[in-house]
Chain A
Amino acid sequence: MREVPLLAWRHLASRPRQSALTIAGVALGVAVFVFTVSMMDGLLVFFTQRLIRVSPLLTVLPERLDVNLAREQLRHAAPLEIVSISRVPVPDDRPTVRGATALAARVRSVPGVVGSSVAGATPVVLSFGTIAEPATLVGLDPGDEATVTELPRCVVQGRWDGLASRRDGVVVGRDLADRLGVQVGDRLAAVGDAGRARELEVVGIIATGLGSTDESTAYVNLSVAQGVAGWGGDEGTEIRLRTAAVANLDGLRRQVQAITGHRVETWEETSQASLKLFRMIGVTTYLLTGFVLIVAGLGIANKLTTIILDKERDIAILRSFGFSRGAVRGVFLIEGLLLGVAGATAGCIVAATVIEYFTIFPIRFAAREGAVLAYTELFLAKDPRYYVIISLAALVISAAAALVAVRRAVRVVPVEVLRGTA
């Protein structure tokens, strides 16, 4: 029936204030939801960008797959079965990659790998004057590292190249440097867990934006870390790789594993815990924000119920003229959808305006000590899909709310209403 939308529209237009309030409720729900998703995605994007900037995309780990294979073979062998195992290195307690330099060079030639660097991380205590702080000493080749991560660009005081020019140079994480009270040019002592000590000169302060790095990491030449940890000259705790692609690294990972015989992790696996945490926070936030939309839906149901109660007599009259139950249902469903569409549209406009405003005039706040991420500026992600998905959700909620309310309209029995009115 072509006039059904007209009936719906006139009902809404005859109560402009009520309709506007209901639309405002939906608009608020949509706007808050879009803004929250934009904020949460922005945070995740920000974190991911920082992560990709300063972390290797693939990491060759000390864990040897051939040892694992032999272990698996032995575990699954039948009683008294003879298992042939050959060329299996004897595992020891040294969590390092042996022959790391040669492996890094081999891996560098794999198509898709654009840079490699051997790194060795070992726990130390850094001392400056009377202050001592636990830290992770990461040894690396400063030149090779520049082909893998953007760490050199994160140096905020001094120079990354200082590591190349000074064999005892150290680049200290900004928060760690703050706690130690060191500046470029200061000399501090590093003591490894086996008691090996080394005096170092601060050649740079680095700020990556990632709490784990800035809070407790100091970068030195690989040979320095090897010396403090007591490793051999060709050992490292990982081989760090930069790949041309950022995503879909599984094929390349398998290829590198086959070449090195070591387990290889993608950056997503390495940071799985943090990424999961961010996603979980995101989901929780979406659920909480989703309630705003549901409340808006209740607003629609309430508004329609009010209209229906008020319009029972009109519904009875329409039914007496020959309007079917379906047509009556259609009137109120369309009303619900009109409110939903108007609310979603207004909400999207508000959200887009607010997001644009805070992009131009960003909110800045102080970094919190000990935070996982040095997040000092509200970073809002922009994606048209937010608007489409959230608007659709608002429409579904509006339609559901209308369906709930419309049951009463459909149940109106004309004669009962007319008898009551007479």
Chain B
Amino acid sequence: MARRETGVRGSGPGDRAVLVACGLVRRLGIGAAAREVLRGVDITIEAGEFVALVGPSGSGKSTLLYLLGGLDHPDAGSVEIAGEDLARVNDDALAKLRNRLIGFVYQFHFLLPEFSALENVLMPLWARGGGRSQEDRAWGLELLGRVGIAEKAGKLPRELSGGEQQRVAVARSLVNRPRLLLADEPTGNLDSANANAVYELFRELNCDLGQTILVVTHDTDWAVRSDRVLRLLDGRLVGDEKRREERA
């Protein structure tokens, strides 16, 4: 699989941003129970970066991820992905935009139990009216091969182990060739061996395909091995540590 160039908007380093979030504020709860979960978060992620977002429970990591992925709307601030302002589109257009630009991996695999591994992988293509052609199926199988379970393409989720299910979820998140892969505790539900395998998979995707990845994690080992670590505390970004030189 050849390395793809992702998230490149122009020639200068400032134009390589895949994700730009400015002044994100998010309040959750109603009335007296309302609290500000995010208090003005600014993030820029460039093409090809492998970023870990860490922080204690309740710091607002998942909330931030949902805002960045266009699944939730900020009370203030803006999110741009590949130059598209998420606030400027209606609900259905936002769904299309998510389909086109973003891949999601969740803590739980969230595979649809009635569909085979390959069908689950192809599902995001169905949302855009594709997924039936030989080419699409070959791409789905290739992704399953990439995550190491091509031979289980026809199996239902219940016939797969937890690690295998999460691998299918990773393959599914890549099938639309997203500009940005967002993962919310992707190993939180896996044993250490499977967690390591998923990390290696993400790393491979990042190195081989140039896939831009933002992972919310509690896993310190995962954070240590990322290119860049963002630290969130009480709804504010309190740290932005580049651990490796940006890959060419």
Give residues in A with beta carbon < 8 Å to B: 1-3, 10-11, 13-14, 313-314, 317-327, 414-415, 418-419, 421-422
Chain B 191-230, CB within 8 Å of chain A: the 1/0 string? 0000000000000000000000000000000000000000
The answer for the CA separation of A130 and B62 in the assembled complex, in Å, is 102
A327 CA to B92 CA, complexed, in Å: 10
Contact of A320 among B104, B114, B131 (CB under 8 A): B104
Name A325's contact: one of B92, B115, B128 (CB within 8 Å).
B92
Say whether B98 faces chain A, with CB atoms less than 8 Å apart. Answer: yes
Q: How far is the CA of A321 from the CA of B104 in the complex (A)?
A: 8
B10 to chain A, nearest CB (A): 27
Q: A327, B72: Cβ atoms under 8 Å?
A: no
Chain A residues with CB under 8 A of B126: 1-3
- Minimum CB–CB distance from A46 to chain B (whole Å) comes to 51
CB-defined A-B contacts under 8 Å, sample of 22: A1-B127, A13-B114, A14-B114, A314-B112, A317-B112, A318-B112, A318-B127, A319-B95, A321-B99, A321-B104, A322-B95, A322-B124, A322-B128, A323-B95, A324-B92, A324-B127, A325-B91, A415-B66, A421-B106, A421-B108, A422-B62, A422-B108
Max chain B C-beta neighbours (<10 A), residue from A2, A321, A421: A321
**Complex Cα gap A327–B91 (Å):** 13
Chain B 83-100 interface 0/1 with A at a Cβ cutoff of 8 Å (1 = within)? 000000001100111111
By the criterion CB–CB under 8 Å, are A418 and B124 in contact?
A: no
A2 near B129: Cβ-Cβ < 8 Å:
yes
Contact of A318 among B71, B72, B123 (CB under 8 A): B123
Given contacts A2-B129, A321-B124, A325-B91, contact A418 B71 (CB under 8 A): yes
Task: Kindly name the residue among B69, B104, B127, B176 whose own CB sees the greatest number of chain A CB atoms within 10 A.
Answer: B127
Shortest CB–CB separation between residue A4 and chain B, in angstroms? Answer: 8
B98 touches A322 (CB 8 A): yes
- Taken together as a complex, chains A and B put the C-alpha atoms of A322 and B100 apart, in Å, by 8
Q: Is B184 an interface residue (CB 8 A)?
A: yes
Q: Which residues of B contact A319 (CB under 8 A)?
A: 95
Residues in chain B near residue A11, CB distance under 8 A: 114
In whole angstroms, what is the CA distance A3 to B129 when docked?
8
Residue ID in chain A nearest B73 by CB atoms: A415
> What residues on A are CB-neighbors of B107 within 8 Å?
422
**Cross-chain contact A2 with B132 (CB below 8 angstroms):** yes
Hey, which chain B residues are within 8 Å of A321, CB to CB? 98-99, 104, 123-124, 127, 172
* Prevailing SS type, chain A contact patch: helix
Q: Is B145 an interface residue (CB 8 A)?
A: no
Shortest distance from the beta carbon of B227 to any chain A beta carbon, whole Å: 25
In the bound assembly, the distance between CA atoms of A13 and B112 in angstroms comes to 13
State the CA gap A419–B96 with chains docked (Å). Answer: 21
Residues of A with C-beta under 8 A to B110: 313-314, 317, 421
Q: How far is the CA of A2 from the CA of B136 in the complex (A)?
A: 15
Whether B99 and A322, one on each chain, are in contact in the complex, defined by CB atoms closer than 8 angstroms, is: yes
Contacts A321-B104, A322-B99 aside, 8 further interface pairs with beta carbons under 8 A come to A2-B129, A3-B126, A321-B98, A322-B97, A418-B106, A421-B106, A421-B110, A422-B107
Residues of the A chain whose Cβ atoms lie less than 8 Å from the Cβ of B113: 14
Q: Which residues of B contact A3 (CB under 8 A)?
A: 123, 126, 131
- Bound: A82/B63 CA distance, A: 98
Select which of A326, A414, A422 is within 8 A of B92 by beta carbon. A326
CA A10 to CA B112, docked complex, whole Å: 10
7 smallest beta-carbon distances between A and B, as pairs: A322-B99, A10-B114, A3-B126, A322-B127, A415-B72, A321-B124, A415-B71
Q: Could you tell me the distance between the alpha carbons of A2 and B133 in the complex, rounded to whole angstroms?
A: 12
B165 → chain A closest CB, angstroms: 13
0/1 interface trace, chain B 47-72, chain A, CB 8 Å (1 if under): 00000000000000011001001011
Tell me, in angstroms, the Cα distance from A11 to B112 when the chains sit together. Answer: 10
Report the minimum CB–CB distance from B157 to chain A (whole Å).
11
Interchain CB contact under 8 A, A320 and B112: no
Shortest distance from the beta carbon of A402 to any chain B beta carbon, whole Å:
19
A140 to B164, CA, bound (A): 95
Instruction: A314 to B108: give the CA distance in the assembly, Å.
Output: 12
Give the contacts of B135-188 with A (CB-CB under 8 A): 172, 176, 184-185
Determine whether the beta carbon of A10 is less than 8 Å from that of B115.
yes
- Output the least CB separation between A48 and chain B (Å): 54
Q: Is the CB of B115 within 8 A of A327?
A: no
Chain B residues near A326 (CB-CB < 8 A):
92
> B113: shortest Cβ distance to chain A, in Å?
7
Q: Are A327's CB and B66's CB within 8 A? A: no
CB distance from A1 to the nearest CB of B (A): 6
**Distance to closest chain A CB from B72 (angstroms):** 4
Chain B residues with Cβ below 8 Å from A14 are: 113-114
Complex Cα distance, B123 from A319, in Å, reads 11
Distance in angstroms between the alpha carbons of A232 and B217 in the assembled complex: 113
Q: A91–B132 Cα gap in the complex (Å)? A: 88
Min distance, Cβ A320 to any Cβ of chain B, angstroms: 6
Residue of A nearest to B156 (CB): A14
Measured CB to CB, the nearest residue on chain B to A322 is B99
A418–B66 CB distance below 8 A: yes
Bound CA–CA A314/B157 (angstroms) = 13
Is B66 a contact of A419 with CB atoms below 8 Å? Answer: yes
B154 CB → nearest A CB, Å: 14
Chain A residue contacts of B71, Cβ below 8 A: 320, 414-415, 418
